[in-house]
Amino acid sequence: MGVLLSTIEETLSGLRIIKAFTAETFFTGKFHRVNEEYRKLMTRLYRKRDLTSPLSEFMGAVVMVIVMFFGGKLVLGTEQQLEPSTFIAFIAIFSQLIPPAKSFSEAYSNVQRGLASVDRINKILDAEITIRDNEKAISIHDFNHSVEYRNVSFAYHKGGTGWVLKNINLKVEKGKTIALVGQSGSGKTTLVDLLPRFYDLEEGEILLDGENIKDYKLNDLRSLMGIVNQESILFNDTIFNNIAFGLSNVSEEDVMNAAKIANAHEFISKMSEGYQSNVGDRGGKLSGGQRQRISIARAILKNPPILILDEATSALDTESERLVQDAITRLMKNRTTLVIAHRLSTIQHADEIIVMQQGEIIERGTHTALLEKAGVYKRLYELQAFV
């Protein structure tokens, strides 16, 4: 059943691609194969279940006949080895034991079926939580000085095979904007994911105000950060609740102000129910640019001291990108910001630009300084300018 439902969910969520590639026949066949296997299993299950009752009744009757036969011989025999009253009492008691015995067999069947479901659920519930608070974790409510990556190396698989980051040293002062650029797979997203402890380090350390981030309470650490991902993640709820996500006692005025800064208020106002409009599963009722702007408004409303922007304007058209970029620029004032950008035009005014390649920092400096250096950054910039 789990495989069958997974197939249905996958088909419905990817319906547009299935139709675009005329793969309806393929997915119909896939569904029928899984459904037929499920049908055969359930037929066997129901057949055995339905046979249980008549079979147990028959076996009970057979046992009673055998008991009556041997008991009758003992009572009616020449030596009369058993008193009739005793035999009748025995039959009465024995007949009362048969129903519970049949119930045991039915209960065992239900337990086995339940255990199959529990196994699937326990794979999730019993999954090891690797990122926890230390026993002596301290609270933090403000960000005061700097974030520092010190000799940071990271691999997704324990044991250090396939390093994603190699010996990263980077210090981000409070109020500064640091931009991370480089080819896909160079480790930019991994670098910023380490800060809210989505992953834990094996080598090196990350310091926040001089303390290792592992020494802070996890919820306190993450409450200092606002994150806008490249993929807009929205929930099947209203626009208001998606913008106010994770916050309590938020007024509609605050949500509207955040939406205006993110250039989202105009299209929200045109929707039939305004801020109470439902965005659908994963925001499916909105365009990619609209989803991105709601994600940005969510980060703006949280008003965090540290911003992490992972290609935050990637899904916007040119006009919206300029408006949102201006809003983000205002938002970034007096905040510490880590920006991942492929469009180099959006990060020219960053305090420092970090150029990454194969998990290492190969260049760093301001936009002007890197252009004068005539290295990798200048080549990337000229390619985009040419395009």
3-state secondary structure of 365: strand
Determine the Cα–Cα distance for residues 364 and 312; give it in Å rounded to an integer. 22
Q: Which two tokens stand for residue 20?
A: 């675009």
pLDDT tens per residue across all 387 residues of the chain: 888 988 888 888 888 888 888 888 998 999 999 999 999 988 998 888 788 778 777 887 888 888 888 888 888 876 777 788 888 888 888 778 777 877 777 777 778 778 877 887 888 888 888 888 888 888 888 888 889 999 988 888 776 567 888 888 998 888 888 889 888 888 888 898 889 888 888 788 999 988 889 889 988 888 888 888 777 788 888 889 988 887 788 888 888 888 888 788 888 888 888 888 888 877 778 877 788 888 888 888 888 888 888 877 665 667 666 766 776 776 676 778 888 887 776 777 888 889 988 888 898 888 888 888 888 888 888 877 654
DSSP 224: T
Instruction: Give the up-direction half-sphere exposure of residue 284: CA atoms within 13 A in the CB hemisphere.
Output: 9
Do the domains 2-125 and 146-386 sit in the same CATH topology, yes or no? no
The fold of the 146-386 domain, in CATH, is Rossmann fold (3.40.50)
CATH of segment(s) 2-125: 1.20.1560.10
Centroid of chain to Cα 350: 31
Q: Where along the chain do its domains lie?
A: 2-125, 146-386
DSSP 199: S
Determine the Cα–Cα distance for residues 244 and 203; give it in Å rounded to an integer. 37
| pTM metric for this prediction | 0.70
Number of neighbours of residue 225 by Cβ within 10 angstroms: 19
pLDDT of residue 39: 93
pLDDT of residue 315: 59
Determine the Cα–Cα distance for residues 103 and 98; give it in Å rounded to an integer. 9
